[in-house]
Structure 1
């Protein structure tokens, strides 16, 4: 017994020294008290309900300023009802003295609907999201209304109020303790056992200490800033670009754009001979980032590959590019989509997604259909850890409102364990064809965490 008295004295001093700090989230504590008939059982000549009343009343008067408490009771009014659950005091509405008086007026009567009480407790925290919320159940017995207290605790902990669910088992046997212990395990809380008055005092003081502990400061939101941008102003390509396989006759910087032309003599990227691959020489930012660019593309050969991505060598790159091809039974429909290609040690992984499937009519030729693709076309690659997610900003006309609507359409993630490539862009044709492909780049940028 001396051990518990010492523990109680220590915890009392500790609790008395607790005070909320200004940066701490609001602490809300809802006590659920067992008011079932079994609480008339006695310990050392005193009814358990009377001990619980005294301990709770004492605790409430010692709550630090700013901590808000509430009380829910079950089994205290109807002998046979599993719905006998009452929010006796809403969180933060009663003073400690008023709440203590309400506690002292309780009379144990009926059943033990623990699961239903836990389910009902969620409504007590309405509009108390983003706070330090705790449910403290004090009970001496098993669920007697066929509920599942453990499942109820798990659901409560996952609710948007995210409370921690603690339990004090008061004078319980092994079977009761086994059931009660699963509640805080499922509810992200702690279990405290008490077999007599002093142990109950110590347990209540300790659970109060746990609830009053300062929550860790939320990490400040990382601000996303522009780390690099090129708007292609002036008449010369800036020094931060390396041009691989340069063909000066096939690109020019003017009027705030980088204009590029690719023909059937522009081999694909994996040959290592693609002309005018524009590769950034700047160091790639550490951490997570987004690479994006805005293009205007003249689709006329179906072989255009205007790409944005990361390029190291012809055997090591990741690019995203739009697709516009003839389709349909008569070859006079438009299919438009996005594809992304990862080349790693000569092995290709490819994802794609069609955004337009066979648009057009028999009299609506491909050249006219492709004009319905709204430009400029914005593409991006988002890096999160070792995952790289390509996407395209898809713009479409809402026929009902005649307004332009846009949304990002993304492909599956690629995984790159050791990134060696640097941001790059360019144009090539996927195979030999008649004609040439032309495109302009309005801007390219990299955004990341400050």
Structure 2
């Protein structure tokens, strides 16, 4: 660990050419494809939000669609002129089972990305293939949509509809993250030229899918199509059963109960242990009045948080409450009888289909000596609460009652924490005493807006957006985009008083190393010159990028370079990987950087008495001779006699960055009170 104190010297030395990292084509392509998937997913989320709100279709507004489509396809009133919705491939929609993934055989073909978007509409499976090309600024833009079910292309429909076909100028493209100055008006009505389509779409034809191939292999819903099941000692299986009966549309604290449930669940899935396999069952979400409407949305497996979040987000309340049958369905989802198995039932009512859920819970609990059935009851009468409490008692589990939104969030977190503590107790005969954390404030970035307590300094709206899947996307570029610069863009500040005692500021994030000068700052700030914070950052070594964790205390006069005191840990100098410029460690370091973009990390600023530290936690992947493991690194403390200012988040770029943008996804922020 390095102690540093500097007034004017830059925190980072100049690295060597960025081409050192660009020479890792497999990793670069994977990250590039992930960005193409994010663009398609965000388009679908924004389109769906408008559809559900009854607003003007997104496809009819070229100023917005230029952020997603090549500019010449963003035509005024396009959906109306086509008399057709090309996103859903239908006039009406009831969407479930949404999946977004790269083409399994050719994710990039002739320079174009091929992204599949699959979902069910009124129970009928649909598959669309989006092709994306690069604009001059290096960002992906959608240049066509192909319906695998019906054989049409968006450009073909435009031609048939008599919409002018004009070739785009890539140099003038407006993109989601880089709208050129002065290019805010709609361009000419247009389509695409034949030569702009990848070969497999020429002439409106789609190449046959290879026999035996499975485009849903990474995200499918069948047992054999899911991610690998994680077995072994110390792990557990957890199945969520979500009530999607019609009553879940009822409101508590001005918000639909189903919305509160989704927010709570998506907010905690990223915090589950790496050895926890997750399954998801919903009932009442497809048909009204059907007691057989029970579906295993995700079989028990080691799903990514994104996959779980998408499945949760697709649940829409409609029907009845067959709790007993849902518990019986859960009994068949656990692949291993010798692991800790937990069911967490979330319901706002009692059984309405004549079953005996208490008996079903009893049968489930005796299925294995490590099986528990936990229940969270939401907005229940005393009679309903007693009925659900019986389920927990017979299932050898715990019952948690919640009468408002915050109690519900707390209850779900307590229930999940209880399952993890049970697993730890079984695997560790003498568990260590733990500090208890209580949620003081939580922001999950689920939308449609962030909490009103947030404010944004030097806001540039075009460089940030809620991505529709539980994250706030931020793009950063420019010489002034440093965490200690007064003119830094899109600095988030939370107008909320900090707890009096010990606490953690917690930020779950993902970032892609594109310039080698990315940094995320989690802080308590009076102003840019007077802050204390945790800094998670990257620099360039001769062999490629490296990660660091710093604790920085800034003090100074406004407008002057502040004094910077704190500690720095080189994460690629031992804690995560050592000897980074040797062949095998360099390859593993690149895998860690890829995992930082796909799976993310948790950054903390921790106060204990007068001591403040920075910490980061990350699940490292398995690779060749390196085993998968969770790494937690914490700095030495600095003393802060008083902490004044507002909690804040900043995602930026050092002034020595290579040309280009830095991209970040903020997935969850929390203030946790720590009880001894």
TM-score, reference length from structure 1:
0.46
Q: Greater RCO between the two (CA within 8 Å, min separation 6)?
A: 1
TM-score, reference length from structure 2:
0.31
State which structure, 1 or 2, has the greater radius of gyration over its C-alpha atoms: 1
More strand by share: 1
